[in-house]
Structure 1
Amino acid sequence: MPTTGNQPLREQSLDFLRSGYLFTSRVRQRAGLTADSQTPVRLRLMGRRAVLLRGVEGVRHFYDADKVKREGAMPAFVRLPLFGPGAVHGLDGRAHAVRKNALADLAYDDERVAHFASLVAVELEQMLEEWARRGSGTVYHDSTTAFGRAAFRWAGLPMRPEEANRRARQMSRLLDTFGRISGNPVAQVERLRLDRWATYLVRKVRAGEFRPDPDSVVAAMAELRDEDGQLVDARTAAVELQNLTRPTVAVARFAAFAAVALAENPGWRNRIREASAEAGRLTEIPEAVAFAQEVRRVYPFVPMLPALATTDFEVSGCPVREGQRVLLDLQGTDTDPNHWRDAGTFDPERFLGVDDAEALEAFIPHGGAGVRTGHRCPGEKIAVTALSAAVAALCRPEVRISDDPDDLTFPWTTMLTRPATGVRVRCSRP
């Protein structure tokens, strides 16, 4: 049985590297579980016994701070290039709560999100103009720089467009390579470069050589304090400044997937085009938001998240021992037939009329539980804003998304995955 017994567990780290997003489903298949089973599975990963959880019950246990912690759970070769040393993602308890709320005060505030919406709309309109001028473009690469410029402007960073494009591309290269052993040195180099740049900015603010708007994100990060009220070191502040901007660049991967979904669902493309034209804007289009949410539910980004058990407990009768690694199957939960009607069908209709998608416990592309009370990403509102605006932009009548199979396919065994071409488009003058 997957939940009981003392038989030796086979090390599956190589299987994970080979299988990518298919790993969790293959683990469950080998355990003899059906597609709709939420039974936890015991395995061994990276030299440590682990339990793979799925579904709402798994989410509740995984985000219970009395049962698990994040510190030491994620391998350093993934954690350090992606999040940076000392980042909020590796904190627990009061230290995490204080840091997380400081970030949420900036990224999760509705007025600040609305300000970002106005900025990203301008950048996407500029992207469309550039596509029309050239006659073509690439969704992933061009939305990377559009999202990056919007994020840097939102943060109050003093950057010329050329530098903003360069920093966004650096963040994109980091995301393309951090989880791959063969490409990890590239991610490490980009992490060092980005850390030096952001640390320099923080030090300039602290020295009074750069005086940003006192209400800006960069000013707040320069004054970031720990749970004891002490100013954090400049590099840690710089890491968190990046953690408030780099995730927006990462949304470009979802933009590429959205282009694939629009090509495969022309009815929705027409529907969004009409709604956006009627509203006269790219943002706050309910149909585009619903489409963006369904893209986030169905298409792969992060396959699973790790934690460490801090006490003994049980999940659906499966014992979890203190010190074991606890894994949450994000992809499996987001497409779990127990929680989603026609789970394998791409259907944005399921999100129309849903005012608070974060309240859906089985919807965890940015993590689960509460933003201020748990480890859910505080940038989720900004991510949805950027993605839904990009969806509306891709539905403009002058934009034609490629139907070449190379543009519409991607490998499920590569992390982080995306269409290799970035999804090419042709664009005429409106």
Structure 2
Amino acid sequence: MTQTRPARIRTEQAPGFLRWGYLFASRLREKAGLPATSHTPLSLTLLGKTSVLVRGEEGVRFFYDNDLMERHGAMPTLVQLPLFGDKAVHTLDGEPHRVRKNAMTDLAYDNDRVADFQRLVAEELEAAHGRWKAEEGNVHDDAALAFGRAALRWAGVELSDGEMDRRVRQMNRLLDTFGQLSQNPVAMVERVRLDRWATQLIQDVRSGQVTAAPDSVLAHMADLRDENGELVEDKVAAVELQNLTRPTVAVGRFAAFAAAALVKHPEWVERIRAASQQAGGSLTDIPEAVAFAQEVRRTHPFVPMLPALAKKDTEVSGCPVRKGQRVLLDFVGTLTSPAEWRDAGSFDPERFLPYDGVEAAESITAFIPQGGGDVRTGHRCPGEKITVSALAAAVVVMCRPDVTISSDVKDTTFPWTRMLTRPATGVRISATG
């Protein structure tokens, strides 16, 4: 194949990333004169290193090709440590990654275990709905608490109600302060506290001081082994226990986005309400709610981009990539690209209704709200079934006739330049008694 030169911006772009947030990639492409439909790779300097920014289906396939890309050392430590944890599965490659990833996928992606989570999250959301009858809540905080409590119960972590709420709120605070220079130290402090708590829990299970339920997620993480069959360090097991629970708390941000989207698209409130009523009031397995949740994940910002390092000299879209060069996958640009999605700028859950279940939607190469590639061999998040289950159930609850979501502009808008972003109010919500 004839190699072509990528569009290039030579000056350091880290200040622009901090200033533009989720708009960073699109602003760079505009600066380089690339049209919105173009998937031409863009060469830029980031943190003193030449990087290649890719997007679209070809970019996704390239980024998640394990023969071409590796993750270890790709992400800055200040990002990796608070968000994923030290020596987490996200930083592994090759056989160590395959073994660790499969151990976690066996738990988070199993349909019977997902069904257990659905039951628990329904209970927690019903409790939140009850609280909304007593006093006004906000979707972000209340959903994050409900999702996090369900995740810890699902994992077999037995805590008092007060202690469980405290741990979930720590996880939520970590996510709410991560990525902002002024508040990132808060995220680091919460990471240290959570690591200390989870490590002690793993040590207590391993020593027999705490009995984990047989076949529970906690029991499996306490027995987590590496590619040689050896037990991983206590702290590593603790990090991965959190990586099977804390991301569910982050779905509270999508719940806030979903609430704002329901205000803007009331016709879907009626459709989802009718479908739930026809299903006997069920919160789970409502196709319209699942489709709505998937479209929220497509159109609302969560991950701006992720990095990898080229393992060898190669090329993408005819443009050369050198060994050791950082490759950045543009998540926002891929999820909203006019070249990948029909009427990409519109909010249309209908596009996901033909896909029966999460696994079917994962077959869409450009659908990467929580990563792409194969869930077992690649770096796609194994918790997508849990994520969509939690979010869709929350959508059903918010569509109930006794629920009122604030339509104030403060509740339905959010800044694209802040990471991680959400409506500042969390989206206020109430229910009649």
Is the pair's TM-score, using the shorter chain for normalization, greater than 0.5?
A: yes
Q: For residues 222-280 of structure 1, give each alpha carbon's deviation from its aligned partner in whole angstroms, at most 9, with x where no partner exists.
A: 00000111100100000000000000000000000000000000000111011111212
Task: Tell me how far 1:353 sits from its aligned partner.
Answer: 2.1
Match of 2:296 in 1: 295
Distance 1:344 1:166, change over 3 A: same
Is the contact between residue 400 and residue 427 of structure 1 (CA under 8 Å) also seen in structure 2?
A: yes
Match of 2:399 in 1: 395
Is the contact between residue 199 and residue 238 of structure 1 (CA under 8 Å) also seen in structure 2?
A: yes
* In 2, Cα distance between equivalents of 1:164 and 1:219: 18
Task: Tell me how far 1:137 sits from its aligned partner.
Answer: 1.1
Is the contact between residue 143 and residue 255 of structure 2 (CA under 8 Å) also seen in structure 1?
A: yes
Alignment of 1:39-78 (within 5 A): 39-78=40-79
Distance 1:241 1:314, change over 3 A: same
Give yes or no for the alignment of 1:414 onto 2:409.
no
Q: For residues 356-384 of structure 1, give each alpha carbon's deviation from its aligned partner in whole angstroms, at most 9, with x where no partner exists.
A: 10010010001011010100000011000
Is the contact between residue 8 and residue 42 of structure 2 (CA under 8 Å) also seen in structure 1?
A: no
Is the contact between residue 124 and residue 393 of structure 1 (CA under 8 Å) also seen in structure 2?
A: yes
Match of 2:369 in 1: 365
Is the contact between residue 8 and residue 32 of structure 2 (CA under 8 Å) also seen in structure 1?
A: no
* In 2, Cα distance between equivalents of 1:344 and 1:42: 26
Which amino acid is 2:323 matched to? E
* In 2, Cα distance between equivalents of 1:351 and 1:194: 37
Task: Tell me how far 1:316 sits from its aligned partner.
Answer: 1.2
* In 2, Cα distance between equivalents of 1:239 and 1:368: 22
Task: Tell me how far 1:133 sits from its aligned partner.
Answer: 2.0
Match of 2:333 in 1: 332
Q: For residues 88-138 of structure 1, give each alpha carbon's deviation from its aligned partner in whole angstroms, at most 9, with x where no partner exists.
A: 00000000000000000100101000110000001001100111122x211
Task: Tell me how far 1:3 sits from its aligned partner.
Answer: 5.8
3-state SS in 2 of match to 1:368: coil
Structure 1 unaligned blocks of 5 or more: none
Give yes or no for the alignment of 1:186 onto 2:190.
no
Which amino acid is 2:154 matched to? W
Which amino acid is 1:150 matched to? A
Which amino acid is 1:270 matched to? E
Task: Tell me how far 1:180 sits from its aligned partner.
Answer: 1.5
* In 2, Cα distance between equivalents of 1:381 and 1:198: 24
Is the contact between residue 275 and residue 285 of structure 1 (CA under 8 Å) also seen in structure 2?
A: yes
Match of 2:85 in 1: 84
* In 2, Cα distance between equivalents of 1:205 and 1:360: 40
Which amino acid is 2:28 matched to? V
Give yes or no for the alignment of 1:149 onto 2:153.
no
Segment drifting more, 299-308 vs 310-319: 310-319
Is the contact between residue 99 and residue 226 of structure 2 (CA under 8 Å) also seen in structure 1?
A: yes
Distance 1:42 1:116, change over 3 A: same
Distance 1:276 1:15, change over 3 A: same
Alignment of 1:124-163 (within 5 A): 124-134=125-135, 136-163=136-163
Q: TM-score, normalised by structure 2?
A: 0.97
* In 2, Cα distance between equivalents of 1:107 and 1:214: 16
Is the contact between residue 3 and residue 39 of structure 1 (CA under 8 Å) also seen in structure 2?
A: no
Structure 2 unaligned blocks of 5 or more: none
* In 2, Cα distance between equivalents of 1:388 and 1:323: 40
Alignment of 1:14-413 (within 5 A): 14-134=15-135, 136-279=136-279, 280-355=281-356, 356-413=360-417
Is the contact between residue 3 and residue 42 of structure 1 (CA under 8 Å) also seen in structure 2?
A: no
Which amino acid is 2:405 matched to? I
3-state SS in 2 of match to 1:268: helix
Is the contact between residue 333 and residue 362 of structure 1 (CA under 8 Å) also seen in structure 2?
A: yes
Which amino acid is 1:376 matched to? R
3-state SS in 2 of match to 1:9: strand
Which amino acid is 2:313 matched to? D
- Percentage of identical aligned residues: 64
Q: TM-score, normalised by structure 1?
A: 0.98
Which amino acid is 2:153 matched to? R
3-state SS in 2 of match to 1:328: strand
Is the contact between residue 156 and residue 213 of structure 1 (CA under 8 Å) also seen in structure 2?
A: yes
3-state SS in 2 of match to 1:44: strand
Q: For residues 270-303 of structure 1, give each alpha carbon's deviation from its aligned partner in whole angstroms, at most 9, with x where no partner exists.
A: 1101111121211110000000000000000011
Which amino acid is 2:149 matched to? R
* In 2, Cα distance between equivalents of 1:415 and 1:371: 26
